Chain A
Amino acid sequence: MALLSKKDANLILDPLADNNPITIQVLGICSALAITAELKASVVMALSVLFVMGVGNVVISLLRNVIPSKIRIIVQLVVVATLVIVVDQVLKAFAYELSKTLSVFVGLIITNCIIMGRFEAFALGNGLWRSFLDGIGNALGYGVILIIVGFFRELLGSGTLFGIPVLGDPVAKTGLYSIGYENNGFMIIPPAALIVVGIIIWVQRSRNRALIEEA
């Protein structure tokens, strides 16, 4: 990363692993549970949050010296709501089916704790470039988990990836299905996402014991 100084690079790399917003800070769980039944929806959600976080952090960082601290939450909400409406309209215009699958959860990006958290904790106190990197880093960290969860849930639950059958045809009994394999209906329902996220948390913490909190 010759482009970025080591300190700046960490702004992106940290949230990907040891300071992941979902698995370490346990924020943004709501959308991670709701929309990860399909990989496509997970990717679109991740991209939407990437856009909102990146631009939002920059805007808040630019405004940080003029926002009165008493009403800063309202200002933050206005910024994030504006961005989310843009995302929502774009999805409705260019990917209508997908926006129906994501339904209310695009709108709920507004209340995604990761975004408000980064605005409060980072963008309000840091310059434009660093805030942008922080936003991108956290959105990527969020997106990575979403995509991992989406991958397993769609593969095991529907036998497809991005809607393309990869394990064979369950009706015509080809591929894996010819030897009696069946899709796991449990993976389709939201509790399965909780368990998959839980397993990721478990794996991550047993690989890096420093992450385990004191009880």
Chain B
Amino acid sequence: MGLKEKLHTFRVKNQDKKWFPVFSGFHTFLFTPNETTHNGTHIKGADDLKRTMNTVVMSLVPCLIFGMFNTGYQHYLALGEIEPVANGFFSAGFWTMDNFLLGLWKVLPLVIVSYGVGLAIEFLFCVIKKHEIEEGYLVTGMLVPLIVPVDLPLWMLAVAVAFGVVIGKEVFGGTGMNILNPALTIRAFLFFAYPTWMSGDKVWVHGAVDTAGTADAISGETVLGFLAQGRTAEMGYSLSDMFLGFIPGSIGETSTLLILLGGLFLVFSKIASWRIMLSAVIGALAMGLIFNGIVDAGWIPEYSKFYALMSFEYWQHLLVGGLAFGIVFMATDPVTGSQTNQGKWIYGFLIGFLSVMIRVFNPGYPEGVFLAILLMNVFAPTIDHYVVRGNIKKRMKRLKTATIYPKPSDEVDALKTETA
């Protein structure tokens, strides 16, 4: 008897055990169970929840690896031990073992804590509620370490993950029933609970918090941080730095290039909605254009604290901060986003639009994308409701004005009374 059969016998024997969901979760993660449906019509699809989730995780891996290198790069750069890269994406000064090892050392614990705590809670709830383990946390667990600053204390991450999974997801009924994106709930919790660890110019580069106030003090301001303080001139990042990701920021969100590739992968594997991505980009550009227009028209004086952010070239908004990452990996969450195609356009557009608006007008939160997505998560069902209502109304109207031509002309009256 092979391993697969053995596992199957084991599965059948222990079906009523308390820990069965835990075993089943791991079993179906690795193997296809031997069970088949017996009656009715069915379609066989290879892309069950586990494969879908894994596809998203795969598309995040480049961002994670890049984040590790960037962690080391930003640290050594701030210490003045290495030179800034100048030869594009494959610069040898960036892809060094030193950079990677430091990044691995800092980022891997975040990944482990995120998955460990999150999956433990998920398993616990499955055992209590006696249902199958759902794989919703696979993606969340990968997203979370990518959207936090690198020096975040692990216990804070653990508390936030516990909060996000329980309050953001399990109380609503688990995977597929949540209103808010769990990864963003976790980030929002961290942001409001421990703001000193989630914003400012110290948290984005490893070592900056520990050395603060000493002679070796280093700092790493994000692009948005520079802009929010009106220090545009001091910012030494070129456009290609922003696009390729050689800038300080949350671990996985700096490289717009890799996010773009991940996004294309998700669109072509038909996991994520291109409508949401495209409309969010349009929304962000639209808001950016409006702000640029206000600046060009001279309606806002240069000493205004919003001037630097408002005059920031509209399309460059997409390159900095977490906007691109949020649009590609979080706005497209199929559970919390809009379901109707028309709704997706509205939902995406407003995410982009509001992100840039929050970014500019709220200097306390230089990045607005997580708030914008959470807000639109709440509105997504409303948007869908009105789209569906609109469709019903339109068809009712069509029905009323439609002229029906039945073949035997003498039945017209009978039909009219029937449809009236």
Residue of B155, B159, B167, B193 touching A185 (CB-CB under 8 A): B193
A180 to B189, CA, bound (A): 18
The majority secondary structure among interface residues of chain A is helix
* Contact flags B193-205 to A (C-beta < 8 A → 1, else 0): 1111100000000
Chain A interface extent, by class: 10 to 19
Beta-carbon contact of B193 and A180 below 8 Å? no
Nearest CB on B from A47, distance (A): 31
Residues on A with C-beta less than 8 A from B171 are 198, 202
A195 to B167, CA, bound (A): 8
Beta-carbon contact of B193 and A184 below 8 Å? yes
Quick check: is B156 within 8 A (CB to CB) of the other chain?
yes
A184 to B194, CA, bound (A): 6
A189 to B188, CA, bound (A): 13
The majority secondary structure among interface residues of chain B is helix
Beta-carbon contact of B189 and A186 below 8 Å? yes
Number of A-B residue pairs, CB cutoff 8 Å, is 24
Beta-carbon contact of A180 and B195 below 8 Å? no
Chain B interface extent, by class: 10 to 19
Nearest CB on A from B187, distance (A): 12
Beta-carbon contact of A189 and B194 below 8 Å? no
Beta-carbon contact of B192 and A185 below 8 Å? yes
Quick check: is A182 within 8 A (CB to CB) of the other chain?
yes
* Contact flags A64-80 to B (C-beta < 8 A → 1, else 0): 00000000000000000
Question: Can you name the residue of chain A whose Cβ is closest to the Cβ of B194?
Answer: A182
Quick check: is B153 within 8 A (CB to CB) of the other chain?
yes
Question: Can you name the residue of chain A whose Cβ is closest to the Cβ of B159?
Answer: A184
Beta-carbon contact of B153 and A185 below 8 Å? no
Nearest CB on B from A138, distance (A): 27
Nearest CB on B from A150, distance (A): 18
* Contact flags A81-99 to B (C-beta < 8 A → 1, else 0): 0000000000000000000
Interface residue ranges of A185-200 to B (CB < 8 Å): 185-187, 189, 195, 198-199
A117 to B30, CA, bound (A): 58
Beta-carbon contact of B153 and A180 below 8 Å? yes
Beta-carbon contact of B192 and A186 below 8 Å? yes
Interface residue ranges of B139-193 to A (CB < 8 Å): 153, 155-156, 159, 167, 171, 189, 192-193
Residue of B155, B159, B167, B192 touching A180 (CB-CB under 8 A): B155
A195 to B166, CA, bound (A): 11
Residue of A186, A198, A199 touching B193 (CB-CB under 8 A): A186
Enumerate 24 A-B pairs (CB-CB under 8 Å) in ascending A order.
A180-B153, A180-B155, A181-B155, A182-B156, A182-B194, A182-B196, A182-B197, A184-B159, A184-B193, A184-B194, A185-B192, A185-B193, A185-B194, A185-B195, A186-B189, A186-B192, A186-B193, A187-B193, A189-B192, A195-B167, A198-B167, A198-B171, A199-B167, A202-B171
Query: 9 tightest A-B contacts by CB?
Result: A186-B193, A186-B192, A184-B193, A185-B193, A180-B153, A182-B194, A185-B195, A185-B192, A195-B167
